[in-house]
Amino acid sequence: MKILLATTAIALMATPAMAADVIDYSAPTPAPSYDVAPERFGWDGGYAGAQLGYGFAEADPGDDPSGIVGGLHAGYLMQYGSFVVGPEIDVDASGIDGEDLEIDAIARAKLKAGVAIDRFLVSGTVGYAYAWGESDTDGDVSDGALEVGAGLDFAATDNIVVGSDYMYHNFGEFDDTNSDLDLHTVRARVSYKF
């Protein structure tokens, strides 16, 4: 009987010890997940492309010549947060023609600066423009002017950028024509971003 009581007592004392050794095989808690913000488009780097549009001038005195413009452009942009800035050059062949004055070509060197909103770039430009043409009274004429403008670009792919711009050129008295000339151009553009 003593052996039976001793065995029962040992068995009862061992049960809690074995229960403590039971292993929990439940699945581990998954690691927390975080939504990663999509990578924003970067405007840094060089680009080159072509443009086509329309130009019109206001000559005082004189008529108001107008016509098609088109050519090539190239530039380099640097991005600091949402701010984008860089130099750009372009040249347009011109069909701006009137009774008194014809503008054959316009070249520009300018600084472009703007704000990037992911794949959109809203920008302004300021620089120097030079135009060549012909006057009925003076023959070949050419002159330089201040240029200011604004534009909107959209990165359709990582390398193809489409956009448009408006530019105003204030020539004052254009060469020796005795005519004050203000020139406006509106153009569509496509660029390849390197």
pLDDT digits (tens, 9 = 90+) for 138-158: 789 999 999 999 999 999 999
HSE-CB for 172 with a 13 A CA cutoff: 6
Whole-Å CA distances, 49 to 43, 65, 88:
15, 27, 11
Q: How far apart are CA 102 and CA 174, in angstroms?
A: 12
The structure's pTM equals 0.79
Give Cβ neighbours of residue 81 (< 8 Å, ≥ 6 apart). Answer: none
DSSP 11: H
Paired tokens of 79: 């991005």
Residue 135 pLDDT > 80: yes
pLDDT tens digits, 90-104: 999 999 999 889 999
DSSP 8-state code for residue 20: H
Q: What is the pLDDT of residue 31?
A: 75
The pLDDT confidence band at residue 126, using thresholds 50, 70 and 90, is: very high
Mean pLDDT score of the chain: 88
- If DSSP codes are grouped into helix, strand and coil, which group holds residue 44? coil
pLDDT of res. 139: 87
Of 3-12, 103-112, 169-178, the range with the lowest mean pLDDT is 3-12
Task: Please tell me the least confidently modeled range out of 26-30, 37-41, 90-94, 115-119.
Answer: 26-30
Residue length, the chain? 194
Q: What is the CA radius of gyration of the chain?
A: 36
How many angstroms separate the CA atoms of 183 and 145, rounded? Answer: 10
Average pLDDT over residues 154-165: 98
Q: Give, as one character, the DSSP assignment of residue 157.
A: S
Average pLDDT, integer, range 28-35: 72
Q: What is the pLDDT of residue 136?
A: 84
- Quick: pLDDT tens for 38-87: 678 999 999 999 999 999 999 888 889 999 999 999 999 999 999 999 99
Residue of higher predicted confidence among 160 and 32: 160
